[in-house]
Structure 1
C-alpha cells in the first residue's frame, strides 16, 4: 500500500504554473524540505478561492499538500513575509533562475541550502544595482548542489594549482587545462577569474564578463545543450532596447 504523505506549512516558491482544466492550476514548486515538487491547486482560479492570485513566482509561501506518487494536491497556501519586488529586467532574471531550477532539480530531492540561496538571490537581483555577481554565484551553487560542481582551483589533468596570471581552457566535463594559442581558439579564461568565482568575489568587470561566458558554456553543456526560453526573452529585450 502506498502511503499518503501530508506536509503542512512548508516554505516554498512557485517556479512555474499552468491552467489545469477550467478552474485549477498545475504547479511546479520548490519547497525548503521537499525540493522540487508538482502539485495541483484545485479550484485556485475560482473568484472566491483564497489562493487566487497568490500562486505566482517570487512570492514567499507557506504551502500544505498531501498526496501519493508524483502529483500531490495543494490543500492550502499563504504568503510568508513580503513579496519579492521584481520588475523589468529583474523579472526576466528571476524567470531565468526558475528555469534553471526546473532543468537541474530532480523531484523530491531535498535541497534546503540551495533553497536559502535561491531566496536570497531573488532578493538581491531585485534590489542590487548590478545583479550579475549574485546570479553567477547562484549558478555556481546550483551546479554544485546537483552534481556538476566546477573545478576552479586546480588543473583537471595535472592537479596543479590555478595561477592567477595564467590562462586556461575550461572543459565542462572535466575542468581547466592550460590554454595553448596554437591549439585552442579564443582567448581562454584567466586564472584570476577561476579563483574569483571559487571565492565568490566577482567585483571586477573583466572577471565578471569571463565568469558569465564560462557559466553560459557549462550550463549549456549540462542542460543537454538546450536553449533556455528565458535567455531568448532576455536577448529580445536587449535588442528591443537597443533599437
Structure 2
C-alpha cells in the first residue's frame, strides 16, 4: 500500500538507529500512524529540516505493517513552529493526541481543529483559549463529552443560575457557587451551543472571553485524565514548572552587577 501527499504533523519521534528515526504522525485521513524514516538523521538527508513537530507537512509512505516506511516529506507551508510558552502548549496538544487517540483510527474531523490550534499558537493567540477549544473538540470527537445543556444523571435542562461541575462518570452535576471547577448552567449551555455551531472552532474561541477559563480547564482536565488513564500530563507539569521559575534576568555583558 502506498499513501501519497497526505497532510500530516509530527507528534513524536525517537531514535531507531544511528541514522534513522521512528516517527509518530497525526494525519488527516489515517489518524495516528507510525513510520520509520530510514537515513533521515544523516547530514545529507533532505528530511532533517522538515521532520519537525508542529509544522504542517505532506508525506508519502508505503507498507501494510504496524510500522510503515517513510518515502517523502515536504513542508506544506502556512506557518513556522510556535515558540516560548506556545511551543510547550503545542507539545501538550501532541501529548493529548498520543494518549487519547488509538493508532490507525481515522478522525478527519479532528485534523482541521488540530491544525487551526497549532497555527493559532504560532501566531501568538491566547494559549488558554486555544487549548480549551481543542480539548472540547477532542473530547467530543472521541465520544467522551456529555451533552453540556443537560444535567448528567437526570438528563434535565440546566438551571441557568445554578453552578455545575463536570464529572467524568456523571456529566454535569449541581455544585456550590464557590467550587473552583464550576460554571453556571448558562455558561455550559453556551458552550454546547458553540459546539453545535456550523464552525465550532470559531464559535468556541469567540465564546471564550465570557467564560471562566480556570473553571473550564479544571472540568475538562478531569475528563482528560480519566480517559487517558494518567494523573497528569508531562507537558502540563513542565508548563507549571516554567511558570514557577519565571523569566531569568539577562546578566550584563561585562559581568558587573550594576
Aligned to 1:76: 72
Q: Which ranges in structure 1 are unaligned for 5 or more consecutive residues?
A: none
Q: Does 1:22 align with 2:28?
A: no
Aligned to 1:191: 185
Change (3 A) 1:6 1:89: same
Q: TM-score, normalised by structure 1?
A: 0.90
Aligned to 2:84: 88
Change (3 A) 1:177 1:58: same
Task: Give the superposition deviation at 1:11.
Answer: 0.6
Change (3 A) 1:123 1:185: closer
Aligned to 1:203: 209
Task: Map Cα deviations across residues 163-184 of structure 1 (whole Å, 9 max, x no partner).
Answer: 2211123221231122268xx9
**1:82-161, aligned counterparts within 5 Å?**
82-161=78-157
Q: TM-score, normalised by structure 2?
A: 0.85
Q: Which ranges in structure 2 are unaligned for 5 or more consecutive residues?
A: 195-203, 249-258
- Cα distance in 2, alignment partners of residues 166 and 230 from structure 1: 34
Aligned to 1:224: 229
Q: Does 1:51 align with 2:39?
A: no
Change (3 A) 1:228 1:147: same
Task: Give the superposition deviation at 1:146.
Answer: 1.5
- Cα distance in 2, alignment partners of residues 25 and 187 from structure 1: 41
Task: Map Cα deviations across residues 141-169 of structure 1 (whole Å, 9 max, x no partner).
Answer: 11111121233110112221122211123
RMSD, aligned CA: 2.0
